[in-house]
Amino acid sequence: MSTPTLFGEASARLPLFDDLPDGAVDRLAAGGLGRGLLTAGLRARLRKAGLADMGALALATPADLMAVRKVGPVRVGAIRAHVLSELARLVPGAREEHDQGATDRRRLDRLHTLPTGRLPLIPAVVARFDPAGATWADLALMHRAQAAGVLGISMADLDGIVAALARALLPDRRLIQPTGPLRDDEAGREAVARRERDAMQRERDREWDEAAPVDRSGRVR
């Protein structure tokens, strides 16, 4: 496996998808974890990690996913493709707008236009980086050893650059918070809706588990 660039390291701290249209995450969430890719065991591990539906997967970072047992880079790519297929079914043009290449290009475009002072790096790093020359995108596309040689900085300083790149590219996910507690009738409706969603999820899981492949010992894979 090739060594990731600084941009690749930063991207591992960013959601699989960003710039999604309004309502897309909720529509993904309504489909649970989907069909066709995830085995019963992997679905259980994802839920245990708090990733209970495709909406949560879309907002998860590769680092979040790889913290789940038996999920590595290859499976992260498969999970992304799985969510993208469902997103393309729900949102016209989503496959072209949100495949990995398009997402990377949007993020790099942001770095091309980002002023040097916008990244909260230590002064020594900023002083060595020429704002009139290469852009942050150019720096981000370097590998660690190359960047360390060009800038003459330590691995710890490079860690700071990666963290700053990730912060600069993190999408704004501010949520509208309720101004007060739910009224009794609202809370009751929400409880009923939650029970209905849970029941639907259990039924989907039962259907998917019945359809899941089994090995020769009869265990679900």
Which among 72-86, 146-160, 162-176 has the top mean pLDDT? 72-86
Kindly state the tokens that stand for 155: 């691995």
pLDDT band at 124 (very low <50, low <70, confident <90, very high): low
DSSP 127-154: HHS-TTSS-HHHHHTSBHHHHHHHHT--
Q: What is the mean pLDDT of residues 129-156?
A: 79
pLDDT of residue 211: 47
pLDDT of residue 130: 56
**Dihedrals phi, psi of 163, to nearest 5 degrees:** -65, -40
Could you tell me the pTM of the whole model? 0.71
**Dihedrals phi, psi of 39, to nearest 5 degrees:** -75, 165
Average predicted confidence (pLDDT) for the chain: 77
pLDDT of residue 125: 65
Q: Which residue has the higher pLDDT, 123 or 153?
A: 153
Kindly state the tokens that stand for 57: 């997967």
Whole-number percent of the chain with pLDDT over 70:
67
Could you identify the residue written with the tokens 């990666």?
162
Axis crossing angle, helix 155-169 with helix 144-151, rounded to the nearest 10: 110
Q: Within 13 Å and on the Cβ side, how many CA atoms surround 37?
A: 18
Query: Comparing C-alpha atoms, which of 221, 198, 190 is closest to residue 208?
Result: 221
CA torsion, ordered 79, 209, 201, 28, to nearest 10 deg: 20
pLDDT of residue 218: 46
